[in-house]
Structure 1
Amino acid sequence: MSQIGNAIATRDNGPEALVRQHKEDLTLVLPSHVKGETWMRLAYGALRSNEQLLKVATRNPGSLMNALQECARLGHEPGTESYYLVPFGNEVQGIEGYRGVVERIYRAGAVKAVKAEVVHAGDHFEYSPDMDQPIHKPDYFGERGPIVGAYAYGVFQDGSTSKVVVINRTYIDKVKKESRGSNSPTSPWVKWEDQMVLKTVARRLEPWVPSSTEWRKEQLRAASEVTAEQAGPTVINAGSAPAATEPSEPGGYDEGPIEAELLDD
């Protein structure tokens, strides 16, 4: 069979065909800000652009589907810096990147800024629990030395600062050790240590800041209930037309709360 014939056979019978077959299941769990067709094209593109990924996915298609399902559930685009598809041994691993964690925090809408930085041995760093934010002065043009820690915090919409999370090298090494194959040449811990440290500290920040679009939907629901309680019950006399309420703004009438789903652009 020619190379073109092999390519067509792989497309029609390989991992890409499996992904296409389960398109509805995968896109069904995507949040509203992710377009299904775009997401699917990225999934196909990730397989076509990485020969090793395609080989592993062909041998173990179940691991590919598990990774893609987790990617969709988190609302990330596959094969990007938000969510990596990494061939590891005989399976495909889905790895949420630092950018993916931060995106989920922003997506919740509670914070207007996320600050996360890696601290090197040559940096000037100060922090104590009575400080709102750390003082960090890296020498970007000097020899910064090895990574000794990292920190992260969020700035809420009202300008207040979340809890500041600080991790040291001991904690970083512990997380790295618990990551399977972290010493492998293909491991993200070897190839992109800075990014993995940033992701580690961002994950530690998550309990202190909302990181789900469900938070925003809950705020809408709560606001709707408060509005309904303040409006009180509407009394309509039998045999008479409903009384008009006072207009809530010029040219319009307040029709009470409506249920709405927040759509992210």
Structure 2
Amino acid sequence: MSQISNAIATRDTGPAAQIEQYRDEYAALVPSHINADQWIRLAVGAIRGNKDLEKAARTDVGIFLRELKTAARLGLEPGTEQFYLTPRKSKAHGYALIIKGIVGYQGIVELIYRAGAVSSVIVETVREHDTFSYVPGRDERPVHEIDWFGADRGALVGVYAYAVMKDGATSKVVVLNRARVMEIKAKSDSKDSEYSPWKTSEEAMWLKSAVRQLAKWVPTSAEYMREQLRAQAEVAAETPSVASAPLPPQPSALDDYDPADDGPIEGELVD
């Protein structure tokens, strides 16, 4: 009897074990094209492989599991540049660290591709020793020349993003200079945290700043694309064929999950 009691007492109830416990729920949330077992292995590996993350997740496992639900619904890989898992101070928890999920630039690019409207997404940072040229209204796309064999490309000075649509048209071109990126960074509640992606993956956050703006101009939702195809089919017989133009700003699949980059989080507000 005592051996059974000890086994119960030492049973793992930590964050990784909780993921396994809710395996079926996460498997039901991920999109059909995602391998649920592989997604769960990534989530478990991310938390078991980082003591800081595991400690923060233990502060409030419920919040951590709900952040993983966001990654599951979006079909993004947790603990990667698709979906960062970062410790964040929570006022409701006495400023102890909890887990906050942040959609990364690779996650946004994945959602854009998944919608099915684009053939390629280009998002690049520009450094001070690069050559960059783009005149809106004159140039269809930027010209960016890099000395790949130079000793030093210099500091980050800008970032740009655009998509090539399936029909060959170019989406709106997004160009952000350093000042604009710093404005976006300033909105981040975690910017000064040692765990913030702005500290640990600065260039990736510059890329996210541009591609997040691009997401307003290209579809990031498969449902949106299906609606567009249905509408096109209804008017195809009576509408003359015209060359495609860049899409106007559209509701983004990210709006519900990443409304303002990675802004403040208070533990009492997480639901």
TM-score normalised by the chain length of structure 1: 0.76
Aligned-pair RMSD on alpha carbons? 2.5
- The equivalences for 1:9-88 within 5 A come to 9=10, 12-88=12-88
Gaps of 5+ in 2: 1-5, 90-96, 238-271
Cα distance between partner residues in 1 of 2:40 and 2:232: 35
- The equivalences for 1:145-224 within 5 A come to 145-219=154-228, 221-222=230-231
Q: Is structure 2 residue 145 aligned with structure 1 residue 137? A: yes
Q: Deviations over 1:113-143 (max 9, x none)?
A: 1111101122111111121001111223333
What residue is the counterpart of 2:123 in the other structure?
Answer: 116
By how many angstroms is 1:215 displaced? 2.9
By how many angstroms is 1:172 displaced? 0.6
Q: Is structure 2 residue 107 aligned with structure 1 residue 103? A: no
Cα distance between partner residues in 2 of 1:140 and 1:134: 18
The percent of aligned pairs where both chains have the same amino acid is: 46
Gaps of 5+ in 1: 230-265
Q: Is the 8 A contact 2:219 2:225 kept in 1?
A: no
Q: Which amino acid aligns with 1:16?
A: A
Cα distance between partner residues in 2 of 1:117 and 1:223: 33
Structure 1 segments (4+ residues) deviating >4 Å: 219-227
Cα distance between partner residues in 1 of 2:135 and 2:232: 37
Cα distance between partner residues in 1 of 2:143 and 2:231: 38
Cα distance between partner residues in 2 of 1:129 and 1:81: 30
> Residues 33, 226 of structure 1: CA spacing in aligned structure 2 closer, same or farther, 3 A cutoff?
farther
> Residues 196, 18 of structure 1: CA spacing in aligned structure 2 closer, same or farther, 3 A cutoff?
same
- What SS does the corresponding residue of 2:154 show, helix, strand or coil? coil
- What SS does the corresponding residue of 2:192 show, helix, strand or coil? coil
By how many angstroms is 1:69 displaced? 1.1
What residue is the counterpart of 1:249 in the other structure?
Answer: none
TM-score normalised by the chain length of structure 2: 0.75
Cα distance between partner residues in 2 of 1:221 and 1:17: 44
Q: Which has the higher contact order (CA 8 A, sep 6+)?
A: 2
By how many angstroms is 1:57 displaced? 0.8
What residue is the counterpart of 2:257 in the other structure?
Answer: none
Larger Rg: 1
Cα distance between partner residues in 1 of 2:13 and 2:144: 53
- What SS does the corresponding residue of 2:147 show, helix, strand or coil? coil
Q: How many residues align?
A: 223
